[in-house]
Amino acid sequence: MDVTTGSITSSASLSTFADWTTATAWSLESVLWMLIVGFVIAFILSFAVGANDVANSFGTTVGANVLTLRQACILATIFETAGAVLIGAKVGETIRKGIIDVNVYKTEEGPRLLMLGNISAMFGSGLWQLIATALKLPVSGTHSIVGASIGFSLVAVGPLGVNWYNLGFIVASWFISPVLTGFAAVFLFYVVERFCLDSDDPLKNGLRLMPLFYAVAVGVNIFSFLYSGAPLLGFDNLPLWGTLLIALASMIVIAVLTRFVAVPRMRINGETVRLAQDAAREDVGSSGKDFAMTTCDEKKKEHAPLMVEYKSTSTDLQNTQDTTDGKEKASSSSRLTDVARSSSSRDDDVIGDKSSKHKTSSTLPPIEPFESDNEESSSLDTQDPEDQDKAEAEEDEDPPEVRQIFSSLQILTACFASFAHGGNDVCNAIGPLIALWLVFWSGEVRQQSFTPWYLLLYGGVGVSVGLWVMGRRVINTIGKDLTKVTPSRGFCIEVMTAITVLVASNIGIPVSTTHCKVGAVVSIGWYRSRAAVDWSIVRNIAFAWFVTVPVSGLFSAGAMFFLVKVT
């Protein structure tokens, strides 16, 4: 009997049957409640991962207005679940037995303690991620489960239960992955900017680069998918040269299809958009000129009576002074001086401006200078350089004619990123459940085993539910609040994050997708303009990253202490 599927198989061996009888002997009924509670908490943890971590995959796509939130959730549900089932087994093994030393649990009470520990780890990790999601802070699911695993192990068996060497290797990847992803994303964006966005003809150069971008994005992900093994599809026996050959052939096919199918359509759409934009600019320019001339004429008509009265009075005074003799001139001048002083005094009382150089008679209202209608323009001239930099960054957009090119690329790379996330971070939620499941059925702690695909599918369902219910909060933080994201920048962020995570997933290192994505977003935003990044949000995210391991560890340790006492 196969203890993992509950059915008789032709390949069943005596050792498998012995394992099952051992599991029965150690009283499955006494630990059944642990398995049930473990499944419930694993679903909650998967829900938390979906609400917080999955936002990394499609956050920039939604932020760039390439996809709606609903469309992003549909695509994420498909690719997260597929990634978890097809390539999640290797990272599941790292989470299950790479962070804690399972050999110390090979005692009489060891299996029971390990089951309680995995329940505690899922509880601590899930609780912290739910709190972070409520605060709209993207935190690492990898950080959370690693910290929680350390927490329960310290309570159960002390510091000897932690594999500190592997932990140090994983912790180093947390700091290296955002830096490397950030540099890679900035480099790719520099290439895109120089050879496409800032060129004389962005559409022409963008169409030239389009087959290369599609080929690289598809080829890298196909190679990673095949190299991971995917036992469910039988790719685990495929040799390396076969993987390279299939990936290379796929790149050639995609490049050819893109060049002869997608590029002509994109060229037509791009030319249409460019013509529409040119026509819109001409209409806005002519209407703006007419509006300015009309406004100026209206203001002249409004002040015309005052100007006529002012000129008439000035002419009368001048004629009076020219036609009188010296004595009358002096007398008139004296009277005019008194009138002017009196008028000035009254004007000062009303206006409060004693420094005016030009005063009129008390019968004349003050002439106000014309005011500019463009108050926003004049305010920009007087604001701080940093504010000007930020305003310019907010207005920075992709050329309209090439936006569609990078929008399509961003959707493609976002789907690959979601697939990679499913293969990497979904296992953060299911790794402890896998260990719980295997210990339950075998009654012992095993160093070598396999990862059941149906448990990975269970985790993918929980992740999808969490994304639909609470994913909006962290999606807004990643895609909109940190910095402005455009399709070209989103493409660079997505493809470099996907490559980093897929490579790490195939090596077996559970890197933080959150760190990779946030590192790429902040790096590109800082490259464009330092003021374009909301550094207060970056500070809050960095603080949340710093406390994730100890906080999730404390939650897990508290749960482990409670379970040990009550059971």
CA nearest 422: which of 46, 6, 107?
46
SS3 274: helix
pLDDT for position 10: 34
Those residues whose C-beta lies under 8 Å from the C-beta of residue 370, and which sit 6 or more positions away, are: 296, 299
Q: How far apart are CA 499 and CA 502, in angstroms?
A: 5
Q: How far apart are CA 311 and CA 189, in angstroms?
A: 63
For residue 251, give the amino acid letter: M
pTM for the complete prediction? 0.70
Q: Which two tokens stand for residue 108?
A: 């009489």
pLDDT lower than 50: segments of the chain: 1-25, 96, 299, 303, 306-311, 313-315, 317-318, 320-321, 323-337, 339-382, 389-391, 393-394
Q: How far apart are CA 236 and CA 121, in angstroms?
A: 30
Q: How far apart are CA 373 and CA 295, in angstroms?
A: 9
**C-alpha distances in angstroms, 493 versus 48, 146, 302, 333, 490?**
24, 26, 56, 79, 5
Instruction: Return the bridge partners of 7, or none.
Output: 2
pLDDT for position 98: 60
- Write out pLDDT tens, residues 51-98: 887 777 788 888 888 888 899 889 988 988 888 877 766 555 555 456
Three-state SS across 370-414? CCCCCHHHHHHHHCCHHHHHHHHHHHCCCCHHHHHHHHHHHHHHH
Around Cβ 235, how many Cβ atoms within 10 Å? Answer: 18
Nearest-5° Cα angle at 14, 9 to 16: 65
Which DSSP helix (H) or strand (E) runs through 22? helix 14-25
